[in-house]
């Protein structure tokens, strides 16, 4: 499944979604696709193991295997769409995949935005909120999904949306047998998302790091680390913002992405 807006409108931008239960290309990036589809060819796939994409049976239990399948999936998608080069925008798990893509196929990509990206130093000491996310299926319910989503934002009372309704809308997808099987399998073994600093220092692409100051899933300190080691990176921190920058501050986020991809930042 690939959500797409603005085919042929401008440079291609691949949006890579996060790794929470119920995540998909459309659910993570709907507002960005709607805002940027008049200027860019916006493409947001569901990863292998998420949403309407392929669900291997039996599923691998090593994140390295899932990562390899997803990297091949993105490159294969670009080949199928006859897109030679694209920008990347990655959220959380999608940020980690973005870094892997920049390292493995640098010639296929131009600029990259990493939002609340995973794979930083905190991977060795995950937050309780992140642990609850990856073990969601130990006790799944719409209420538990709503509580989890409340940790993705700075202040649920200030969030311009209904987190309980979002949880209700996504819960049926999370409880599909294939979706549940893939999710449990990918987080049952080694994570192995982190790239060594020696690899990060070789990535020459212009990179915009975007992070919520109050992110409880992947702390903002991870982006400060990436800022130190990525040669051509800059960082923008949103105050009073959690893990869902693209949903908490959609207008500002989409404007920032547009400015950066145009080379105005």
Domains in the chain (CATH in brackets) are 2-261 (3.40.50.1820)
Note whether 28 and 102 are within 8 A (CB).
no
pLDDT value at position 54? 96
Residue 158's contacts (CB-CB under 8 Å, 6 or more residues apart) are 240
User: Is residue 215 flagged as an active site residue?
Assistant: yes
Percent residues over pLDDT 70 in the chain: 100
The average confidence (pLDDT) of the chain is: 95
pLDDT value at position 255? 98
- The single residue of 191, 215, 222, 223 carrying the catalytic annotation is 215
Closest CA to 130 of 99, 96, 92, 102: 92
pLDDT value at position 156? 93
User: Is residue 198 flagged as an active site residue?
Assistant: no
User: Is residue 243 flagged as an active site residue?
Assistant: yes
- The single residue of 24, 92, 182, 223 carrying the catalytic annotation is 92
pTM for this one? 0.97
State yes or no: pLDDT of 192 exceeds 80: no
Where residue 105 falls among pLDDT bands split at 50, 70, 90?
A: very high
Where residue 162 falls among pLDDT bands split at 50, 70, 90?
A: confident
Over residues 212-223, mean pLDDT: 98
Taking the C-alpha atoms of residue 77 and residue 75, their distance in angstroms, rounded to an integer, is 5
pLDDT value at position 88? 98
């Amino acid at each position: 499944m690939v959500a797409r807006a603005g085919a042929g409108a401008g440079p291609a931008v691949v949006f890579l979604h996060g790794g929470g239960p119920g995540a998909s290309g459309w659910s993570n990036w709907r507002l960005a696709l709607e805002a940027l589809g008049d200027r860019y060819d916006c493409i947001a796939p569901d990863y292998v193991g998420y949403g309407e994409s392929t669900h291997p049976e039996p599923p691998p239990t090593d994140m390295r295997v899932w990562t390899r399948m997803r990297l091949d999936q993105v490159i294969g998608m670009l080949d199928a769409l006859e897109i030679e080069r694209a920008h990347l925008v990655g959220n959380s798990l999608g940020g980690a995949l973005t870094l892997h893509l920049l390292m493995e196929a640098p010639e296929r990509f131009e600029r990259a935005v990493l939002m609340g990206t995973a794979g930083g130093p905190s991977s060795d000491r995950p937050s309780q909120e992140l642990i609850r996310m990856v073990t969601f299926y130990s006790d799944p319910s719409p209420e538990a999904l709503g509580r989890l989503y409340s940790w993705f934002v700075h202040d649920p009372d200030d969030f311009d949306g209904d987190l309980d309704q979002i949880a209700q809308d996504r819960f049926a997808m999370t409880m599909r047998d294939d979706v549940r099987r893939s999710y449990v399998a990918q987080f049952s073994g080694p994570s192995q998302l982190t790239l060594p600093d020696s690899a990060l220092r070789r990535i020459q692409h212009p990179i915009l790091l975007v992070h919520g100051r109050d992110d409880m899933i992947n702390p903002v300190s991870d982006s400060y680390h990436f800022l130190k080691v990525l040669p051509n990176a800059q960082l923008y921190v949103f105050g009073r913002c959690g893990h869902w920058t693209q949903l908490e501050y959609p207008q500002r986020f989409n404007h920032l992405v547009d400015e950066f991809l145009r080379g105005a930042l």
